[in-house]
Amino acid sequence: MFEKSLQDLVKGIRAHKQDPKPFISQAIAECKIELRNVDAYVKAQAVRKLTYLQMMGYDVSWAAFAIVETMSQARFAHKRIGYLAACQCFSESTDVVLLTTNLLKKEFQSTSQYEVGLAINCLANIVTRDLARDLLQDTVLLMSHSKPYVRKKAVSAMYKLFEKYPQGLRLTFEKLKERLADEPAVTSCAVNVVCELANQNPNNYLSMAPQFFRLLKTSSNNWMLIKVVKLMGSLVPQEPRLARKLLDPLASIIQNTAAKSLQYECIHTLTLALPFTKKADGTEARSAPGVVRLCSDHLRQFIDDADQNLKYLGLVGFVELMKSHPKAVVEHKELVLTCLSDDDVTIRTRALELLTGMVTRKNLEELVAKLLQHVDRAEGSYRDELISRIVFMCSRDKYAFLSDFAWYLSVLVKLAHLRGSRHGALVAEQLVDITMRVKPVRRYAARDMVALLLDDRLAVGQGLDSIADVLAAAAWIAGEYCASLFEEEEEEEEDEDAPDIPQTRLKERLVDILTHPRVTNLPASVQSVYLQNALKVVAVACAEGDDEELEATLALASKRIDVFTQSVHMEVQERASSFVSLLEALGALEKKVEYKAKKRKEDEADEETYVTYAAVVPAARTAARCLAAITADKMVPVNPRAQQRVPVPEGLDLSEPIAPRATLDDFFDKQAEHLVDGLVPRGSGGYASSQNGDDALSRVRFVESGPRFAGPDDDDADADDELGAPPDFDERGDPPPPLAPPVAGRGDDPFYLRETSVDPNEVDVDDVPVVRLTAKDLAQPTGGKKAKKRSTKAAAAKNKARRVQKADVDTSDLMPDGAVESDDNKKKKKRQSTTTTTTTTTTTTRAAPAASSGLAAVDITTPLRDDEVMPTIEHRVTSTKTVVKKNESGLLVNETTVVERRPKASSARDDVAPKNNDRKPPKRTKKKTKSKKAAVLVVEEPPKPAQGNELLLDLLDFGPPPEQQRQSSHASSSAAAAALDAFDGFDLLGGGGGGGGGSSPATPSVPPPLPAAAEDAPNGSEESSSSSSDFARLFERGGLSGSYRVSAAEGATCKIEVRYTNKSTTELFSLLSFALGTKKVAVAASLGAGSSAKACVETEDATPGADLDATVAFYVEGLVPDLVQLPVSIHLRAAAFLVEDPVSPAEFAELLGDADRWRSTSLKLPAWPSPDAVLDVATYLSAHVVERRDGTASMLAASRLDARRKLALLVKPIAAKTAAPNKLKVDIKATDQNLADAVAADLHAFAKRSRGNVPTVPPPQPAADMLL
C-alpha cells in the first residue's frame, strides 16, 4: 500500500551503493504492480520512478503504454510526469507513439498555456513521420496562439516536424516567416529554425536575406544576432553580393560590441564570406583588405588572451581565415608555434592543424623540425596525431612541398625510432613509397635501413608491434636495393652524414642480421620478409665481392636457416625451405643430407663446416646469374585500384562458370610443362611486369612466359648456354626477358614514363615523369647550388650529395593496360574539381546539401502545386463504409474461420446487422431486430440518424451479432441461436450494467459473479472510483460500446476478441485499449462514426467457466477528461470450450452406464421464444443430438470438453398449463462437477439473454408455436 516515492527510490539506491541491482530490480517489480493501480497518483509516481531508472540505464520500454496513460491524466502534476517520461523514454520504435496523436491534438486545445507547452515539448521530442504529418496543421495554428510562450515553442517545434516530414516545409514556411516579426523571444526562435533550415539548403532562404540584414542592423539581442550571423554564414556561399554587403556591417559589430561571443561569430562569418567577395571582374572588394586585417588582429588578440577558450577559438578562426587568406595567417606562425607547447591538447591539435595548412615549399623543413621537437615530448593519441601530421605535411599532394627526399628519409628514420605509438605502419609505408618512387634516394635509403636493422635497440623491448612494420620495410629496402649499397664507393666516403655502417663484409653482416635467431621474436609476416631479402643479399653476394665473403655468407646462411625451416609459421617455413632448396638446386649450398652426414663425420666442428663451403663457391658464382632473376625486375608502385581496372578480355564472360572438367584437363596437360619450367625469374610474367608489350593477358599470367633456366635436376652449370645467351642483368630494372618485346613497347604504355625530362611545374601532377638517373648522373652532384641551410645542426652538416630533388619523384602508379579509361578520367575530373574547391573555397562543399536529408532537398522557392495540401489525419481504423461492407461479406466469413468448429452461418440475418452503422435505428426499434420479421421491417424502414447522444444509451448493447446457425438437419432459425456467437458486453465493476441494464433489454447477460447488478441501479457506481463513473457516463452518453467474445478456445488456450464500436454520428478521438493481466493491446487510436475496431488477446491459462480479470482503458475526447481504466471481468463461457461428441445411441448408453464417473446437476430454465428451444440448448453447448423424441420433445445429447471431460444432457420441456412461456428441464451429467456447474451457469445466462431478445409487447408469435 505504501508505495515508494522517487525520493525513496533515490535514497534506497544510495543506501545500496555496493550493489544496487537487487534493490533496483525490486523497485522495478514494484513499479510494475503500481502501474496496474487504478489510482492515477500511484501510477504517475511509478512512471516518475521509471523515468529516473531510465536515466540510470534501465530499459523501461515495457512501460510505454502506462506513460501514455499518465500523459492523458487530467491533473497537471500527473500529465507533466507522463510527458517528461515520454520525452526521455520514447524512441522511433516505440509503437504506442501512434496513440499520442489525438492526445496531443487535444492538449493543444487546452486553455492553459503550460499544458499546451508540455504537449509541444513532447511532440518535438518524440516526433515521428506520422506524428509530424498528422499534427502539422495543429502546430501551425499554435504558431499564432495568443500567448508568446506557446508561439515560441510551436515555432521551435516546426524544425523537428520538418525533419521528419520534409513535405511540410513548403506548406507552412510562409506562416513560419511571419514569426520573424514577433516578440523578441519568438523571433529569436524563428531565426533559430531558419538558421537550421538554411544549413540544409541555403538557396531557399536567399530571398529572405534583406529581412535578416535588417535584423542584423537593428536588433540588440545578442543571442539572436549570433544566430542571424550564423545564418548569414550559410547564405554567403550562394550569393557573392551578400558576402560583399556583409563586410561593413559585420566589421562594425566587431568593433563596437562588447560581447566576445558575438564578436567571434562575426569574425567567423566574415572568414566564410571573404572567399566570395571577389567581384566578377576579379577585383577584390574595396574593404576586403581592411576586413582581413581586422579579423586577423582580433583573432590574434583571442589567441593572446589568457582565457583558454578564446585562445582555442582564435585558432579555429585562423583555420577558417587561412582558406582564403593564407598570407594573413602565416604572419602569425610564431604565435601559433607557441600554442604547440600549451598543456591543453585541444589547443595543440588546433594549432597543429593550422600549422599543417601553413606549409610551403620554403618553410616545410623548418616546421617539421619544430614538430619533431614536440614529438619527443608528446604522448598518447596526440603524438600519433603529430606524427601523422608530419607525414601528411611532407607527402601531401604527392610530395608537392617536399624539396629534399634525403632529408625526408632522415625524418622518417627518426620517426621509426619512436616507440609505443601506432605510427609504425605509416612510416613503413612512406619509407617503401619514397624508395620505390624516387630512384636517387634508394642508395641512401638502403644505407639508412641497414643502419636501422643493425640497431640492436630497435628489435627488443616494448612497442615491438609498431617497430616490426618499420623493420619489415627496412629489410625489404635493404634487400631489394642491396646492390646499390655497393655502387659509387667513392661518393660514400665523401658523405660525412652517412650512418655508420660496417664497410667490410657488409653482405655477410646483412645476412647475419636478416637471419639472426632473434628475428624469430618478430611477427611471422616480418620474418618472411626478412628471409626473402636475405636471399636477395645472398644473390648479390654471389654476383659480387670476394670469394672469402661469399663463402662465409653461404656458411652462415646455411647454419642459420635451420631455425626457420622449423618455424611454426607456415609462411616462414615455406620461405626458409625454398631458400634452402633454391640454393641447393643451384649448387650454392651443399645438399642437406650430405652436409649433415659430413657434419657428423667431422665431429660437429664449426670451423670445419666453414671449410667445406669453399667447395661450393664456384657453383655459387655460376648460380649468380640465375639468382639475379630474383631481383631482376624493379618494383613499381601499384595503384590501389589497379585490380578493379583490369579490362575483361574479349570473349570472356565472367558470369559463366568455368567448366570444371576443362580446368582439370588443362591442369594435367600443363603439368609437364611446369616441371620443365622450373625456375622462373620474378616479374617476367606476373602482375608487376609492365613491359610485356600490349597483350593485356600476358600481364595476368604468372609463369608461362618465363625464360627457361637450368632445372633443379640439371647439375651441369653450363646448361645456361644451351638456352642461348644468358640475360644481361648488369643494369637492374631493365632485364630483357627473352620472350618479351624490347623496351620500345613502353612508349605506348601510359603507365610507363617517357624518358624525357619535363618541368614539373608545367605538367599535370599525375604525369610527372621520372628522370631516369644513371650512375653517371649521380656521380655529379645534382644541381649546382649549395644546399640550403638546415634547421638542425646535424642537417646543416649534410653534404649536398645527399640531397634529392623533387623532380626525381615517380608519382605514377602501375595500372593495367587498357584500364577502363573513362572511369579513370571521371575520377580524375572529380578529383580535380574537388581539389580546386578545397583550395579556393571549402565553403562550397559545405554548402552542398547533404544528400541524406530529405529536408535539404525541399525547395520552397517554387509555388505550391495543387496536390500539395496540408495533411489531414487519415484514420487508420476501418471506416463506416468498409465495415458495413465487410459485415455483408467478409467479416462474417472471417469470424467463422476463427471459430472453426462452428458450423457455417446462413446469411439470413446478416443483411440487417446494423451494429456498426451510424444510421442505426434508435433503440426502440432495435428491439425488433432480433427476430427475422422485425429485421425485414427495419430494412424497409428508412433508417433514422441517431438523434443525439441521449438516444444512444444502449450501453452494453453491441448490436446484433452475426448470427450463426447450425446446418444440421434440425437447423432452424432461432432467436436463441443469435446469442450463441454474440459478443458479451463488459461488466463494468458491477456498475456498468447499470448504464445499460435498465435502458436496454437487449443487454447481454451479466456474468454470474455479479448477477444482481444487471437488474437495477442504473448508477450503481457509488463504490467505484470517480474515473470509473466517468467511464460509465461515457457509455451512457456516447454511443460507444465495448464487447468481447471468447473465440477459438482450445484446451487452456483461448483467444478473446475485443470489439469497440462507435455508434454515435460523430467521430471519437479516443484511445482504446484492453489489458488482460500483463498483456495489453491497443485497440484503436480513434474511431470514425459507426466504425468499430477489434483486437485479439490470447490467454494461456483459461479455465472454462471461470472469470478473468481484465482492464479496459478509455480516453474519449470531449467526453472523458481523463484516461480511465476499469477493471472488467471476462467470463469464459464453458460452452465456448465444448466440442461436439458424435456418439451413437448405443455408445451413449454405454457411456452413461458407468455411473461412478458422472456428476449430475439439473436445472430448470425459463423458456424463450424460439421455434425449437430444446435444440437451442444443444446448439449452445455444441452437443451432438443422440436421440430426439418429438412426442415428449425430449432430447439426449452429448458433448465433450476434451477426451477426458465429457458432458451428457437430457433436455425436456415441462408441460405448460397455459400458453405462457414454457420451462425447460435440463439434466446435466458431466465427468467433472465444476464443468457441470459452469455449464449450468452458462445455460442460465443463455436463457436470460435469449429471453431478452423477445419483444415484450406484443409477443411476436404465440408461445405454442415457438415450442415445436
Partner 1 sequence: MIKGIIIVNNNGQARICKFFQSVHEQGYSAEEAQQHVIRKVFQQVAQRPDSFCNYLEGSIAEWGEGTKLIYRHYATLYFVFAVDKLESDLGILDLIQVFVEALDKCFENVCELDLIFHSDKVHYILDEIVMAGMVLETNIVSILQSVNDQNKLHQRSLSKLNEALGVAQKSKPGAIPRPR
| Closer Cβ to partner 1, 843 or 1231, answer by number | 843
Q: How far is the CB of 689 from partner 1 (least distance, A)?
A: 43
DSSP string, 87-130: HHH--TT-GGGGGHHHHHHHHHT-SSHHHHHHHHHHHHHH--HH
* 226 near partner 1 (CB under 8 A): yes
Residue range at the interface with partner 1 (CB under 8 A); choices 152-160, 354-362, 562-570, 920-928: 152-160
Among 28, 143, 193, 1014, the residue binding partner 1 under the rule CB under 8 A is 193
| Closer Cβ to partner 1, 973 or 1025, answer by number | 1025
Question: Does residue 551 contact residue 612 with C-beta atoms inside 8 Å?
Answer: no
Q: What is the largest CA-CA distance in the chain?
A: 143
| Closer Cβ to partner 1, 85 or 795, answer by number | 85
Instruction: Annotate each residue in 110-129 with x if it binds partner 1 (CB under 8 A) or - if it does not, as one string.
Output: --x-x--x--xx--xx-x--
Among 25, 26, 309, 825, the residue binding partner 1 under the rule CB under 8 A is 309
| Integer Cα distance of 573 and 16 in angstroms | 59
* 837 near partner 1 (CB under 8 A): no
Between the alpha carbon of residue 775 and those of residues 483, 670, 728, 896, the distances in Å are 12, 43, 17, 98
* 108 near partner 1 (CB under 8 A): no
| Closer Cβ to partner 1, 8 or 433, answer by number | 8
| Closer Cβ to partner 1, 17 or 785, answer by number | 17
Residue that is written with C-alpha cell 536515466 in the block: 55
Q: Of 6-45, which residues contact partner 1 (CB under 8 A)? A: 6-8, 10, 14, 40-41, 45
| Closer Cβ to partner 1, 199 or 238, answer by number | 199
Residue range at the interface with partner 1 (CB under 8 A); choices 190-198, 867-875, 1045-1053, 1115-1123: 190-198
* 146 near partner 1 (CB under 8 A): no
Among 65, 165, 173, 312, the residue binding partner 1 under the rule CB under 8 A is 312
Q: Where are the alpha helices (DSSP H) in 637-787?
A: 642-645, 660-677, 719-722, 775-779
Q: Which of 493, 520, 522, 511 is nearest to 557 (CA)?
A: 511
Q: Which of 791, 758, 781, 761 is nearest to 362 (CA)?
A: 791
Instruction: Annotate each residue in 693-732 with x if it binds partner 1 (CB under 8 A) or - if it does not, as one string.
Output: ----------------------------------------
* 159 near partner 1 (CB under 8 A): yes
Under DSSP, is residue 30 helix (H, G, I), strand (E, B) or coil?
helix
Q: How far is the CB of 385 from partner 1 (least distance, A)?
A: 12
| Closer Cβ to partner 1, 45 or 622, answer by number | 45
Residue range at the interface with partner 1 (CB under 8 A); choices 236-244, 340-348, 604-612, 750-758: 340-348
| Integer Cα distance of 195 and 189 in angstroms | 10
Q: Of 412-471, which residues contact partner 1 (CB under 8 A)? A: none
Residue range at the interface with partner 1 (CB under 8 A); choices 187-195, 678-686, 859-867, 933-941: 187-195
**Cell numbers standing for residue 1200:** 465433450
* 149 near partner 1 (CB under 8 A): yes
Among 116, 347, 418, 955, the residue binding partner 1 under the rule CB under 8 A is 347
Cis peptide before 1258 (omega within 30 of 0): yes
Question: Does residue 509 contact residue 502 with C-beta atoms inside 8 Å?
Answer: yes
Q: Of 54-93, which residues contact partner 1 (CB under 8 A)? A: 54-59, 75-78, 80-81, 84, 87-88, 91-92
The β-bridge partners of 1079 are 1076
| Closer Cβ to partner 1, 261 or 301, answer by number | 261
Taking CB atoms within 8 Å and a gap of at least 24, the contacts of 168-174 are 168/132, 168/133, 168/136, 168/871, 169/197, 169/855, 169/858, 169/860, 170/858, 170/859, 170/860, 170/864, 170/868, 171/136, 171/864, 171/868, 171/869, 171/870, 172/136, 172/140, 172/870, 173/860
**Cell numbers standing for residue 614:** 669453399
Instruction: Annotate each residue in 230-269 with x if it binds partner 1 (CB under 8 A) or - if it does not, as one string.
Output: x-----------------------------xx--xx----
Q: Of 1014-1053, which residues contact partner 1 (CB under 8 A)? A: 1026
Q: Which of 1206, 1047, 1073 is nearest to 1142 (CA)?
A: 1206
Among 104, 136, 157, 892, the residue binding partner 1 under the rule CB under 8 A is 157
* 520 near partner 1 (CB under 8 A): no
Residue range at the interface with partner 1 (CB under 8 A); choices 109-117, 168-176, 1098-1106, 1240-1248: 109-117
* 1164 near partner 1 (CB under 8 A): no
* 313 near partner 1 (CB under 8 A): yes
Looking at this protein, which amino acid is placed at residue 472?
A: A
| Closer Cβ to partner 1, 17 or 776, answer by number | 17
Residue range at the interface with partner 1 (CB under 8 A); choices 195-203, 272-280, 664-672, 1042-1050: 195-203
Under DSSP, is residue 1055 helix (H, G, I), strand (E, B) or coil?
strand
| Closer Cβ to partner 1, 188 or 515, answer by number | 188
* 633 near partner 1 (CB under 8 A): no
Q: How far is the CB of 85 from partner 1 (least distance, A)?
A: 9
Burial of residue 370 (number of CB atoms within 10 Å: 0-12, 13-18, 19+): middle
Question: Does residue 798 contact residue 790 with C-beta atoms inside 8 Å?
Answer: yes
Among 153, 437, 926, 1200, the residue binding partner 1 under the rule CB under 8 A is 153
Q: Which of 83, 76, 81 is nearest to 100 (CA)?
A: 83
Q: How far is the CB of 307 from partner 1 (least distance, A)?
A: 8
| Integer Cα distance of 318 and 329 in angstroms | 6
* 195 near partner 1 (CB under 8 A): yes
Q: Of 166-185, which residues contact partner 1 (CB under 8 A)? A: 185
* 1229 near partner 1 (CB under 8 A): no
| Closer Cβ to partner 1, 115 or 984, answer by number | 115
Distance from CA of residue 725 to its chain's centroid?
Answer: 65
| Closer Cβ to partner 1, 261 or 897, answer by number | 261
Among 102, 172, 187, 188, the residue binding partner 1 under the rule CB under 8 A is 188
> How many positions of this chain bind partner 1 (CB under 8 A)?
74
Residue that is written with C-alpha cell 636471399 in the block: 535
Q: Where are the alpha helices (DSSP H) in 566-632?
A: 570-585, 592-601, 606-612, 617-628
Listed in order, strand segments (DSSP E) in 731-868 are none
Q: How far is the CB of 565 from partner 1 (least distance, A)?
A: 45
Q: How far is the CB of 380 from partner 1 (least distance, A)?
A: 10
**Cell numbers standing for residue 967:** 446446418
| Integer Cα distance of 354 and 942 in angstroms | 85
| Closer Cβ to partner 1, 196 or 810, answer by number | 196
What stretch of H or E contains 1074? strand 1068-1076
